[in-house]
Structures are given as structure tokens and as C-alpha cells.
């Protein structure tokens, strides 16, 4: 997935290193001092590859970020653009951080930060950005998603084998539609199944079609899966969440670390790994994911090359 993200393996290592200093606290469940601040991003084609679009939300509000700031000190560069006041607290006057303005569905717009290099990713980590989230569209065509996503979201205490089975059923359904499924454990509770699609449909149509496919997937195992949004109506079943396909909505980015005990990482899978009974949503952590990448490579490295036409 590093190629798809446009930051390369060095960028992933930088992100991992920039967050490493907080991992001991996270592993000990001591996350009270660190914000779980959410950012949004989208892939964007540029000359060097595909990029990420971020928008920090909320403020620090006195949150202690000393450990992250100390980590950032490792990456102070001799480059003039990283000198002086250009790093540290977020500022609208940063000249080297690229921006993109995106329209809201109900009018107005939002300014995002475009991250397409390791330096910007490091800067974001210094802003207490721990878990990036990704759009379903790119900068040049924000209204045309380039993938469809199904989030298998279990309730606390659910049997994870049922989540794996649901993801496998989603794969079957997507292949029957002529699409290629990819899977990722989220680092939190569930599994995301994603299919890359050609950008031929607008976001509202894709959202509606995703809902229809989600109902069809849940119908393949009605005793274990549901599309019922209200928890009190799920009867303990696994939610097949398709709402993330709505314009402007986001899902956790591949290889993002979670600000929870053990610092688990959202990790792309080889599809066959879904049959592994030992698999869990938190199988890999900040400490172990790099070795996995070195040993097996990135299972999503060629994901954009599998884009198909979403029928309907």
C-alpha cells in the first residue's frame, strides 16, 4: 500500500518512528495524555504518485504532546523549509505544506492539508495526529470514488471468526460483480473489505449501490450479519457498514496506528489470511508491522491496478 499512498516505504518508517516514542505509554493503556484526534485524507494523483489529503479536526485543548514533540526532534532537517517556526504548532502560515479546498455537501468548503511526502507526514504526527483516515476519492475528482468499502463492525465480545466469515462472503459477492476484493484488519475491532473501482460514477450513486450490496452480503448469513444501524436492533450480529461510502466520509488509512493499548496497526492482508483462525483485528502492532512488511511486502501494492466497473 506504500506505493498507493505515495510516501514509499521510507515514509511509512518515518511515520512509525515518529510515533514510536508514545508506544510504551499506549502499550500500557496510558493514552489519557494523547489526543485521538482524527484527520481526513484522500488519495490524489501527482507527478510522484498518489497522495493523501488531511484535515486536522479540533484543537489540542491542553493535551500533553511532549512525547510526540520529542519524537519530532529526531527529524529536524537542515532544509530551510523545516527550519525555524515552520514546524511545531499548527499554523496557517506554513508555506511548504500543500493544501486542497473541498466543497461541503450542504454548501461552503473545507481546507485540507495535502500530504505527499514524509516530511509532511512527520509534521502531522507532531500535531498529535495519530490515526489518519482516508477518503474514497482523489483530489482531482472528489465526487467520483475510486473504491467501495464494507466495514465489518462487531460488537464488543463478538466471535472474530464471524467477522472473518462475513468478510469472505463479501469477497464472494464482489467477485460475482466482477470486482477484486482486498481486506484489511482495522487495528480496532473489525475488518474492512475494499474493492477498487473505476471512477465512472458519482458518490451518491456509489453510496446507494454499496447499501444494496451490503444488504445482499448480510442476506448470505442472516444469523450472523446485519445492516441494521441501531445497536439495539442488531441482536448481537455483525454490522455490514456501508455508510463510509458517503461523500466526504472516511475510513482508517492502511498502516495507521491506533491510540489504544498495544498500539495495533490497521494492516492490509493477503486475501487467504482471512481463513486463519488466529487472525484478529489487532494482529499487528507498531512494533511488529515493519517486520511483516519486510518479510511479505505490501499486499495492496498493486491495488489500483485492479480497478473494475461497479455494475448496477
What's the pLDDT tens digit per position in 29-58?
223 333 333 333 333 322 223 334 433 332
- Please tell me the distance from the alpha carbon of residue 297 to that of residue 171, in angstroms, as a whole number: 22
pLDDT digits (tens, 9 = 90+) for 192-251: 999 999 999 999 999 999 999 999 999 999 999 999 999 888 888 999 999 999 998 888
Which residue range is the domain that position 124 belongs to? Answer: 2-142+250-262
Conformational region of residue 223, where left means phi above 0, alpha means psi within -120 to 50, and beta covers everything else: alpha
- Averaged pLDDT, 70-84: 37
Q: How many residues does the chain have?
A: 312
Residue 19's pLDDT is 46
Q: Which residues contact 278 (CB under 8 A, 6 or more apart)?
A: none
Q: How confident is the model at residue 128 (pLDDT cuts 50, 70, 90)?
A: confident
Say if 195 falls within a structural domain: no
What does the radius of gyration of the chain's CA atoms come to, in whole angstroms? 19
Say if 87 falls within a structural domain: yes
Residue 52's pLDDT is 42
Residue 3's pLDDT is 31
For the ranges 248-252, 266-270, 291-295, 302-306, which has the lowest average pLDDT? 248-252
Burial label for 231, CB within 10 Å (0-12, 13-18, 19+), is: exposed
Say if 23 falls within a structural domain: yes
Residue 150's pLDDT is 98
Residue 68's pLDDT is 33
Residue 16's pLDDT is 52
From residue 276, alpha-carbon distances to 163, 168, 188 in Å are: 12, 12, 18
Buried b (16+ CB within 10 A) or exposed e, 253-286: bbbbbbbbebbbbbbbbeeebbeeeebebbbbbb
Q: Which residues contact 24 (CB under 8 A, 6 or more apart)?
A: none
Q: pLDDT at residue 1 above 80?
A: no
Q: How confident is the model at residue 13 (pLDDT cuts 50, 70, 90)?
A: low
Say if 73 falls within a structural domain: yes
Burial label for 171, CB within 10 Å (0-12, 13-18, 19+), is: buried
Say if 42 falls within a structural domain: yes
Say if 86 falls within a structural domain: yes
Burial label for 161, CB within 10 Å (0-12, 13-18, 19+), is: exposed
Domain count within the chain: 1
Q: How confident is the model at residue 284 (pLDDT cuts 50, 70, 90)?
A: very high
Say if 85 falls within a structural domain: yes
Say if 80 falls within a structural domain: yes
Q: Which residues contact 169 (CB under 8 A, 6 or more apart)?
A: 217, 220, 221, 225
Give percent of the chain with pLDDT exceeding 70.
70
Amino acid at each position: 500500500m506504500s506505493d498507493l499512498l505515495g510516501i514509499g516505504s521510507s515514509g511509512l518508517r518515518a511515520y512509525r518512528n515518529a510515533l514510536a516514542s508514545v508506544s510504551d505509554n499506549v502499550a500500557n493503556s496510558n493514552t489519557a495524555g494523547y489526543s485521538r484526534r482524527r484527520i481526513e485524507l484522500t488519495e490524489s494523483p501527482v507527478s510522484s504518485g498518489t497522495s493523501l489529503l488531511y484535515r486536522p479536526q479540533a484543537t489540542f485543548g491542553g493535551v500533553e504532546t511532549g512525547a510526540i514533540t520529542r519524537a519530532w526532534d529526531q527529524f529536524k532537517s537542515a532544509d530551510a523549509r523545516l527550519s525555524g517556526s515552520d514546524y511545531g504548532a499548527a499554523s496557517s502560515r506554513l508555506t511548504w505544506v500543500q493544501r486542497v479546498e473541498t466543497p461541503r455537501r450542504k454548501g461552503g468548503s473545507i481546507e485540507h492539508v495535502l500530504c505527499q511526502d514524509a516530511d509532511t507526514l512527520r509534521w502531522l504526527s507532531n500535531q498529535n495526529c495519530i490515526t489518519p483516515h482516508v477518503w474514497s476519492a482523489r483530489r482531482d475528482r472528489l465526487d467520483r470514488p475510486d473504491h467501495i468499502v464494507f466495514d465489518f463492525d462487531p460488537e464488543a465480545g463478538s466471535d472474530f471468526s464471524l467477522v472473518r466469515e462475513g468478510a469472505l462472503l463479501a469477497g464472494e459477492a464482489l467477485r460475482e460483480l466482477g470486482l477484486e476484493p482486498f481486506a484489511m484488519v482495522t487495528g480496532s475491532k473489525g475488518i474492512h473489505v475494499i474493492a477498487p473501482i473505476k471512477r465512472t460514477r458519482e458518490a451518491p450513486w456509489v453510496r446507494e449501490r454499496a447499501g444494496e450490496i451490503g444488504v445482499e452480503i448480510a442476506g448470505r448469513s442472516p444469523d450472523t450479519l446485519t445492516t441494521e444501524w441501531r445497536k439495539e436492533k442488531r441482536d448481537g450480529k455483525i454490522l455490514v457498514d456501508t455508510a463510509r461510502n458517503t461523500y466526504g466520509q472516511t475510513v482508517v488509512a492502511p498502516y495507521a496506528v491506533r491510540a489504544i493499548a498495544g498500539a495495533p496497526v490497521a494492516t492490509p492482508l493477503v486475501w487467504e489470511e482471512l481463513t486463519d483462525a488466529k487472525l484478529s483485528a489487532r494482529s499487528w502492532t507498531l512494533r511488529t508491522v515493519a517486520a511483516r512488511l519486510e518479510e511479505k511486502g505490501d499486499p495492496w501494492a498493486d491495488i489500483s491496478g485492479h480497478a473494475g466497473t461497479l455494475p448496477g
